[in-house]
Amino acid sequence: MRLRSWLRQLEPRVLAEFDRPALAWLKPWLDRHDVFSFTREPLARGLAFGVLCGAIPGPGQVILVALLCALFRGNVIAGIVGSMWTNPLTLVPIYVVAFKLGALVLPGAHTMPAWQDAASASGFFSGLVDWVRALGWPLAVGLVLLGSLLALNAYALTQIAFLAPVRRRLKRMRARPSSGR
């Protein structure tokens, strides 16, 4: 089954969940704003918001994704999936890249602080928090830049992916011999 047809079949099932009494008050507001629309533009916006908010440290990612998707008519599900690029396994490499990007943009010399390794699990997490705090402004600026660049790429790639079948169909139509009308 193709992705587009699967997504179009998924939309009514998601909206049907809002017929439950506890969620019925949300249906008109969410349905009107394309928050669960599985078409090209809402999916692209939702994914871009998710990737952008994925760069935000902490648990506020999903809440911010939902707010941005509701405000700017993006797909919440795509946004939440897009925010999952940051997780405990990818956090440190992402922060290193963001720090280097921020240090590249900000004036002056910025060196990455050393990681204070600890043997216990609680020492690891306190060492991680101390290391992130020591990264400072280059990390903050780098996270905004990295998130923005990746969000723009996610938006563009989603648009391209949805337009690829249209281009193939157009190419087939142009290659077809004319009927002589």
Helix extents (H) in 17-120:
27-32, 40-54, 61-72, 76-82, 91-105
As given in the structure block, the two tokens for residue 23 are 């969620």
Secondary structure of residue 7 in the 3-state scheme: helix
Give yes or no for a contact between 158 and 75, defined as CB atoms under 8 angstroms apart.
Answer: no
Over the stretch 91-141, which tens digit does the pLDDT of each residue have? 889 988 999 999 999 888 777 767 666 555 566 677 777 777 778 888 889
| Orientation of helix 121-175 relative to helix 91-105, angle to 10° | 80
pTM: 0.73
Task: Provide the residue ranges of all domains of the chain, joining segments of one domain with +.
Answer: 3-175
The reported pLDDT for the residue numbered 153 is: 97
Over the stretch 20-44, which tens digit does the pLDDT of each residue have? 887 777 766 666 557 777 888 999 9
Q: Which residues touch 61 (CB under 8 Å, ≥6 apart)?
A: 53, 54, 83, 86
The reported pLDDT for the residue numbered 25 is: 75
The reported pLDDT for the residue numbered 142 is: 92
The reported pLDDT for the residue numbered 49 is: 96
What is the 3-state composition of the chain as percent helix, strand, coil, each rounded to the nearest 5? Answer: 75, 0, 25
Q: How far lies 106's CA from each of 93, 140, 145, in Å?
A: 20, 11, 12
Q: Is the pLDDT of residue 86 over 70?
A: yes
Within 10 A of 83 (CB to CB), how many other CB atoms are there? 23
Give yes or no for a contact between 43 and 75, defined as CB atoms under 8 angstroms apart.
Answer: yes
Determine the straight-line distance between the first and last CA of the chain, rounded to whole angstroms: 36
Over the stretch 135-177, which tens digit does the pLDDT of each residue have? 888 888 999 999 999 999 999 999 999 888 888 888 999 998 7
- State percent of the chain over pLDDT 70: 85
The reported pLDDT for the residue numbered 11 is: 72
Task: Quote the mean pLDDT of the chain.
Answer: 82
The reported pLDDT for the residue numbered 117 is: 63
